[in-house]
Amino acid sequence: MEHSSEPYNLVTPIGLLGLGVVGSAVVKAIETREKLGDSRVSLDVVASVVRDASVKRDVPVDSSKISTDPNSVIVNPEIRIVVELMGGETPAFEFISRALQAGKHVVTANKEVMSKRGSELLTTARTHGVHLLYEASVAGGIPIIGPLMNDLSANKIMSIRGIINGTTNFILTKMAHEGADFDDVLSEAQTLGYAEADPTADIDGFDAMYKLSVLARLAYQTEVPVESIYREGITKIHAKDFRYARELGYTIKLLGVVQANQNLGLLPRVHPALVPLGEPMASVNGVLNAVEVEGDLVGSLWFQGPGAGPNPTASAIIGDIHKIATEAVGKQIIRKELEPFVIASMEGHKCQYYIRITADDRPGVLANVARVLGDAEISIKSVLQKDTDVDNNRADLVIMTHPARESNMQSAVGSIRALDTVACFDSLIRVETYNS
Amino acid sequence: MEHSSEPYNLVTPIGLLGLGVVGSAVVKAIETREKLGDSRVSLDVVASVVRDASVKRDVPVDSSKISTDPNSVIVNPEIRIVVELMGGETPAFEFISRALQAGKHVVTANKEVMSKRGSELLTTARTHGVHLLYEASVAGGIPIIGPLMNDLSANKIMSIRGIINGTTNFILTKMAHEGADFDDVLSEAQTLGYAEADPTADIDGFDAMYKLSVLARLAYQTEVPVESIYREGITKIHAKDFRYARELGYTIKLLGVVQANQNLGLLPRVHPALVPLGEPMASVNGVLNAVEVEGDLVGSLWFQGPGAGPNPTASAIIGDIHKIATEAVGKQIIRKELEPFVIASMEGHKCQYYIRITADDRPGVLANVARVLGDAEISIKSVLQKDTDVDNNRADLVIMTHPARESNMQSAVGSIRALDTVACFDSLIRVETYNS
C-alpha cells in the first residue's frame, strides 16, 4: 500500500447522521474549505439524516439531500464515510453497526456508544475491513485519541488524568472564583447553553466516565467497562468547600483518572478532587479541557484546549474524515496474548482526604472525631475550625488527613456520622496525589 | 488499501544511522518491548551504522550488527525502515536521500536537515513511494508533527507559538529564578549536559529556527526557508532584565512564533520575548517545551512536555516507526494550486518593546530619549529609573513602549545610541502580544 506519487484529489462522498449544531458546523467548515479550494481533500456531503426534516436549518445543504430515513445514509451506495452525530447508545449503535457492515467507514463524536459498545463496534469495523474513528468523542478539539493511537504507541501508559467535562469545569470555576452556590451556577450554565436542561450526564460524572472509559481502553488495550469506573459527581460541593480548600492551598476540579499499578491493576475513577493550586490542572478554567498523559518513555505530556463546542468538535470530525480519505489510518493492531489488566476497586485507593463536618462547638468534639479516624488508621494532617454559629452552638470542622485507604475512610465516615456531637457530615473530597 | 482482519505481527526490520544516546535509547526501548511481548508491532534492529565501531556501547546490539559503512543500512535489502539519528545537514541529507531512493522508509530526528532540505527529501520520498517521518525533529516527545499532519488538518492554522529549545529555556529559567548571569548559567548547563561544548546552535536561536521552519512548512504547506526567519538569540539578556521584567509583570522566554496575517503574509520569528506572567507560556520552565497552536476551527490548543532527552526522543521515533509498520501514514497531499504565502519581513512586525538604557543621571535625559521615540512615532507606556550609580552619575532607564512598528523602533534605537547622555543601549526585548 505504498502511496502513489499522484496528487490525491478525488472527491470523498460522506453522509451525516444528525444535522444539529455540530453537524451544521461540519457542513459549514467543509463548504468554506471547498470554496477556498484549500481543503486537503475534497469532501462532498451527499446526504444527511435528521429526526425532523421540517426544522429550518442555517446550513448550506439542499433540502433534497436531507431525509428522515437513516438508510439514505447507512446503505447509500454513493457514500464512503458515515459521520454519526446523534449521540447516545440507541439507535446510534445499530446505525453505526449497519454502516460498518455495509462497508462504510464511520467517524463518530459519540462517547456514550464508544464507551458502552466500542469494542463490539471496533470488532465489526475490523471484520468488515473499514475504519471507525472517534477523536471527537473525547475532549472536543484536543487531539488525544490520535496521539494515543499513533504518536505515543511506543509508550507504556502509566496514567491519564484529565478535566474532560467542560460543563462541570465551567460550574466549578465559577464557584471557585465567585464564591457562588452550585444551584445558582448550574442555572446560569443552563441559560448560557453550557449545561443541558437535564444536566445529569454532566454533573453526575457520566459524561466524564464515558470519556475516561474510551481513553483507558485505547491506552491500555483492555476493556474498561463503564460499570467498573468509580464515579462521583459534583452536586454535593458547596461554596464554602472552595473557600476552605483555597485556604489549604487547593482548588476543586472534577477529574477523570486512570492509573496502572503493577500490584493493584488499573484503577479508573471520576470524582471531584482537591488539586494543589500550583499544579497546571488547577489553572484549567471555564469550559477548557486538559489531559495529562504519563508514558514510560516520554514522561509527562500535557494537552489542553476547547473540550466542546461545534467548531472544535468539527475540527476533530473532519480531521478523522481526512485521515480516512488520505489513508492515514493504520491497521488495528491485535497484540500478542497478554494478561489482561485487572480493574482495581476504589477500596484500595490511597490518598489524602478533605473532610468537612458541622459539629457541636464544644470541648471534646474534635477528640471524638480524631479517635474515630485513628481507629480506622487515619492520621490527621491539619484541622480548621470555621464559621462558628454561636446561636446554634455549631461550627464547621475542616480536617485534612494524611494518605489513607479508601476502605478505611469509608468505614470512618460511617462512624463519624454516628457521633452525637456531629450534626452533619457535609463533605468528603479526595486530594489528588501528584508525584512531583 | 482496506486493512485486513488478520492480526498484524510481522517483524519489521529496521536499520539505524547513529547509535549515540538517542539510538541507544531506541534500541533499549525496542528490546524491552520485545521481551515483554507488549509492543504493538515487532521490530528487529538488523544493522546500525556508527562513526567509530571501537567505542564501547551500553546497548543490547551484537557487534556483528554494527558497522562504519553507511551502505550496510542504506542499501541493505533486509531493511525496511531506516532511522537517521546523526543530526546535521551533511552527510545526513545524502544518506536519507539514498535510503529513500533505495525504497526504504525513513524516520529522522534531524531538524537541521528537515528545515534546510526537507522539501527535497519529502519530494524524493513521494517520488519513490515511501514515507519520511520526522516527529522527533521538533519538541522531542511532544506529539506536534502528527497532530498538525493529521488530527488538525481541518484547520487553517492562525499561529504557532512555542518554547521549542530546552537548553535556552533551562538557562532563562535559571536566570529568572536565581538572578544569575548568563555566562554562569551557561557553564552550569554545559556541566549538566543540557548545553553543548559549542552552544551556538542553541543560544543563538538556530535550533529553534530549524524547528520553527519545520513546523511552519507543515502547518502552512508552504516553504519557510530558514533564511527567511527572523532570528535572535539570548546572549544579550542580563540578570537585571529579568528583575525589571518581573516588576513590570513579565518573564523572558525564547519564543519561536509563526503567524499568518492576511495582509502581511507569514511572519516567522525566533527571539527572546517578554511574556506576561499570567500566560501559561510563562510557567513553562526548565528543559520543558510547549507549543501553542491556534486553528480557525479548534481555537487555541496547548501541547507541553519534555522537549529533549533520549527517552522522549525515542518515544517519537518508535511512534513514527509504528506508524509506518501499521500503515498509519497517509498520502502526502498535494493541494490544488493556491497562492503561496508571502514570507513577511520583521520590519512590519508590531509589538510593545522593553528598552533598557544606561544613561546619565541628570535632568533632561529622559526628555531626550522620549523625543527620539516620539519622532519615530513610538509612545512610552511606562518608565522606571533603577540602580542609580552615584559615583559615575549613571542610572538604568527602563522604558516600556506602546505597540510600535519594528522598523520605527530600529531607527529610534540608532538615534538613542547616538545621544550624548546615553552611555549604553543595553537591551531591546519585544513583548509578546496575546489576544486574550
User: Quick check: A392 pLDDT over 60?
Assistant: yes
Residue A51, Cβ density class (10 Å: 0-12 exposed, 13-18 middle, ≥19 buried): exposed
Residue A101, Cβ density class (10 Å: 0-12 exposed, 13-18 middle, ≥19 buried): middle
Question: CA–CA distance from B148 to each of A82, B293, B407, B432 (Å)?
Answer: 24, 9, 33, 23
User: Quick check: A9 pLDDT over 60?
Assistant: no
- Per-residue pLDDT averaged across A419-428, rounded? 94
The residue with greater pLDDT, B15 or A392, is B15
Distance from chain centroid for Cα A155: 22
Pair (B65, B180) in one structural domain: no
Q: Report the C-alpha gap between A259 and A268 in whole angstroms.
A: 7
Pair (B366, B276) in one structural domain: no
Pair (B163, B289) in one structural domain: yes
- CATH code at position A425: 3.30.70.260
CB contact under 8 A, B312 and A302: no
Residue A7 confidence class, pLDDT cut points 50, 70, 90: very low
Residue A5 confidence class, pLDDT cut points 50, 70, 90: very low
Q: Report the C-alpha gap between A298 and A317 in whole angstroms.
A: 27
Residue A312 lies in a domain: no
- CATH code at position B63: 3.40.50.720
Out of B278, B305, B332, a domain closes at B305
Pair (B19, B101) in one structural domain: yes
DSSP codes of every residue in A77-124: TT-SEEEE---SSTTHHHHHHHHHHTT-EEEE--HHHHHHHHHHHHHH
Closest chain A residue to B31, measured at CA: A154
Other CB atoms within a 10 A radius of the CB of residue B398 amount to 24
Which one of A129, A141, A298 has the shortest CB-CB distance to B5?
A129
Low-confidence ranges of chain B (pLDDT < 70): 1-9, 37-40, 332-339, 436
Pair (A160, A123) in one structural domain: no
Other CB atoms within a 10 A radius of the CB of residue A349 amount to 22
Q: Report the C-alpha gap between B55 and A334 in whole angstroms.
A: 39
Q: Which of B174, B211, B253, B323 is catalytic?
A: B211
Is the CB of residue A302 less than 8 Å from the CB of residue B304?
Answer: yes
DSSP codes of every residue in B259-304: EEETTTEEEEEEEEEEEETTSGGGG--TTEEEEEEEETTTEEEEEE
Percent of chain A's residues with pLDDT above 90: 81
CB contact under 8 A, A297 and B156: no
Residue B339 lies in a domain: no
Number of domains in chain A: 3
State whether residue B82 is helix, strand or coil. Answer: strand
Residue A339 lies in a domain: no
User: Quick check: A251 pLDDT over 90?
Assistant: yes
Residue B148 lies in a domain: no
Identify residue A351 by its one-letter amino acid code: C
Instruction: List the domain range (segments joined by +) for residue B363.
Output: 347-431
Pair (A132, A179) in one structural domain: no
DSSP codes of every residue in B323-354: HHHTT---PPP-----PPPPBPPGGG-EEEEE
CB contact under 8 A, A8 and B312: no
Is the CB of residue B322 less than 8 Å from the CB of residue B40?
Answer: yes
Q: What pLDDT score does B292 carry?
A: 98
Tell me the pLDDT of chain A averaged across its residues.
92
Q: What pLDDT score does A40 carry?
A: 67
Pair (A284, A413) in one structural domain: no
The 10s digit of each residue's pLDDT in A308-350 is 899 999 999 999 999 999 988 987 665 555 567 889 999 999 9
Q: Report the C-alpha gap between A65 and A47 in whole angstroms.
A: 5
Picking from A126, A298, A323 by the largest number of B CB atoms within 10 A of its own CB, the best residue to mutate is A298
Q: Which of A116, A211, A253, A323 is catalytic?
A: A211
Pair (B189, B218) in one structural domain: yes
Strand partners, B301: B293
Pair (B234, B357) in one structural domain: no
Residue A336 lies in a domain: no
Of A10, A17, A189, the residue nearest A97 (C-alpha): A17
Pair (B289, B377) in one structural domain: no
Identify residue B383 by its one-letter amino acid code: V
All cell numbers assigned to A336: 500478542
Which one of A3, A131, A328 has the shortest CB-CB distance to B129?
A3
Residue A315 lies in a domain: no
Distance from chain centroid for Cα B281: 14
Strand partners, B359: B395, B422
The yes-or-no answer on residue B56 being catalytic is no
Other CB atoms within a 10 A radius of the CB of residue B54 amount to 7
Residue B341 lies in a domain: no
Opening angle at CA B253, ends B250 and B257, nearest 5? 115
All cell numbers assigned to A21: 449544531
Other CB atoms within a 10 A radius of the CB of residue B184 amount to 14
Q: What pLDDT score does A39 carry?
A: 63
Is the CB of residue B223 less than 8 Å from the CB of residue B217?
Answer: yes
Picking from A36, A153, A285, A288 by the largest number of B CB atoms within 10 A of its own CB, the best residue to mutate is A153
Helices B206-220 and B111-127 pack at an angle, to 10 degrees, of 30
Which one of B129, B143, B301 has the shortest CB-CB distance to A152?
B143
CB contact under 8 A, B151 and A143: yes
CB contact under 8 A, A305 and B319: no
State whether residue A231 is helix, strand or coil. Answer: strand
Residue A306 lies in a domain: no
- Per-residue pLDDT averaged across A144-151, rounded? 96
Q: What pLDDT score does B9 carry?
A: 54
Q: Report the C-alpha gap between A408 and B93 in whole angstroms.
A: 62
Which one of A153, A315, A332 has the shortest CB-CB distance to B295?
A315
The distance of A332 to chain B (nearest Cα, Å) reads: 8
From chain A, the residues in CB contact with B316 under 8 A are 151, 298
Out of A301, A336, A371, a domain closes at A301
Pair (A186, A289) in one structural domain: yes
Out of B71, B102, B137, a domain closes at B137
Pair (B203, B238) in one structural domain: yes
Buried b (16+ CB within 10 A) or exposed e, A317-328: bbbbbbbbbbbb
- CATH code at position B275: 3.30.360.10
Other CB atoms within a 10 A radius of the CB of residue A362 amount to 10
Region of residue B309 (phi > 0: left; psi between -120 and 50: alpha; otherwise: beta): left
Residue A264 confidence class, pLDDT cut points 50, 70, 90: confident
